[in-house]
Amino acid sequence: MRTWINFSKELPLCFLSHLDLMRLWQRAIRRSKLPVAYSAGFNPHQKLSFASALPVGVTSSDEYLDIQFTEAVNNDGFKRLADALPSGLSIHGRQDIPDGIPPLMSLIGAASWHVSCGLNEPSELGGAVNSLLSSESLPVEREGKRGKKKLDIRPLVLNLELEKSLSGHQLSMLLQTGGDGGARPQEILALLGMAEERLMLHRTALYVRVGARLQRPAYVALIKNEVQIDAKKDYYQL
């Protein structure tokens, strides 16, 4: 049986690295005695993968763990798993996945982020956001294995919005991510002149992309070996 577990990663667990988080899940699964599948070989490891790596220090309310079990797990089993987690990590839901569906990691095409920017002058920031959106190109430099590399991230910026929030204003970003390349939220903040500020960044959702439509993995329809947008649930039209 294969399952996607939808969870959030809040303070203080946002400081865990990808490796730390993997180790945490492995131990929690062992504590809750779930029949997880192990890889073959000299050094067997649990068959687990995440939908998308999250930078250290960033909280998220929409993470996914893709797990392979050797037999069906009932609600009691998942309840035990939820109880085995430390505070800061909570399970929102799960869905059983047909075996033929590709790894969730390969399906993710976009992510939305938000950051509170209470202290910034909204009109000034609004102007910066608009000019960024109307730019033809947004060149950034990235540190690669063979030195610095130039890249235009404009096509990867799907949307930016400045919204009113309880504590002032918040910036929402919808950015492409995954195998076809992605824009990093920190790059957008740098382009807006906010790189130096200590802002708490939050990932609000991950999206599966089918054509010009984006939908959270928790909502998509899985038919045999295919992933489809479920039009009856929320989705985003590019």
Partner 1 sequence: MEDYRTFLWTKILPRVQKATRYMGNEVNSVRKGHDKAKIKVALAFPDLYEIGMSHLGLKILYHIINMEPDWLAERVFAPDNDMEIIMQEEKFPLCSLETTTPLSDFDLVGFTLQYELSYATILHMLKLSGIPQLAAERKDPDPLVAGGGPGAFNPEPVTDFFDFFLLGDAEEALPQVLHILTEMKLLSRQDKLRRLTEVPGVYVPSFYREEYSPDGAYQGTRPLFGLPERVSRAVVTDLEKAPYPTEFIVPYGGIVHDRLVLELFRGCTRGCRFCQAGIIYRPVRERKPETLRELAGKMVESTGYDEIALSSLSSSDYSGIGVLVEELGRDLAREGVSLSLPSLRLDSFSVDLAEQVQRVRKSGLTFAPEAGSQRLRDVINKNVSEEDLISAVSHAFKAGWSNVKLYFMIGLPTEEDEDLRGIAAMARKVVQAFRQSGGRGKPRVTVSASVFVPKPHTPFQWVGQISREEILRRQQLLRNGLRGPGLNFQWHGVEESLLEAALSRGDRRLNPVIRRAVEHGCKLDGWDEHFSYTGWQQAFAEEGLGIEEYASRTLETDSPLPWGHLDSGVANRYLLSEYRRALTGQVTGDCRTSCLGCGMAVLVGSCGSEGEPYENLD
22 vs 132, beta carbon nearer partner 1: 22
How far apart are the C-alpha atoms of 13 and 16, rounded to whole Å? Answer: 6
Share in percent of the chain as helix, strand, coil (round to 5): 20, 40, 40
Q: Which of 3, 4, 8, 26 binds partner 1 (CB under 8 A)?
A: 26
> What are the distances in angstroms from CA 212 to CA 67, 84, 101, 120?
28, 39, 20, 33
Using CB under 8 A as the binding rule, whether residue 24 contacts partner 1 is answered as yes
The whole-angstrom separation of Cα 227 and Cα 15 is 32
User: Near partner 1 by CB under 8 A, which window of 38-46, 67-75, 161-169, 171-179?
Assistant: 38-46
Residue 218 interacting with partner 1 (CB under 8 A): no
Q: Taking a C-beta distance cutoff of 8 angstroms, is the pair 199, 189 a contact? A: yes
Q: Please tell me whether residue 34 binds partner 1 under the rule CB under 8 A.
A: no
Q: With binding defined as CB under 8 A, does residue 118 bind partner 1?
A: no
**Where would I find the H helices in 116-207?**
122-133, 185-191
Paired strand residues for 10: none
Q: How far apart are the first and last CA of the chain?
A: 34
Token pair listed for 221: 């329809």
What mask, x for binding partner 1 by CB under 8 A, covers residues 147 to 186? ----------------------------------------
127 near partner 1, rule: CB under 8 A: no
Site string for partner 1, 46-65 (x = CB under 8 A): ----------xx--------
Residue 93's Cβ-count burial label (10 Å; 0-12, 13-18, 19+) is: exposed
Judged by DSSP in three states, 79 sits in helix
Name which position in 15, 70, 130, 225 contacts partner 1 (CB under 8 A): 15
Residue 15 vs 238, nearer CB to partner 1: 15
Stretch that binds partner 1, among 15-23, 117-125, 181-189, 213-221 (CB under 8 A): 15-23
Min separation Cβ 86 and partner 1, Å: 5
19 or 166: whose CB is closer to partner 1?
19
Nearest to 19 by CA among 54, 44, 47: 54
Which residues are at the interface with partner 1 (CB under 8 A)?
Answer: 11-13, 15-17, 19-20, 23-24, 26-31, 38, 42-44, 56-57, 84, 86-88, 198, 200
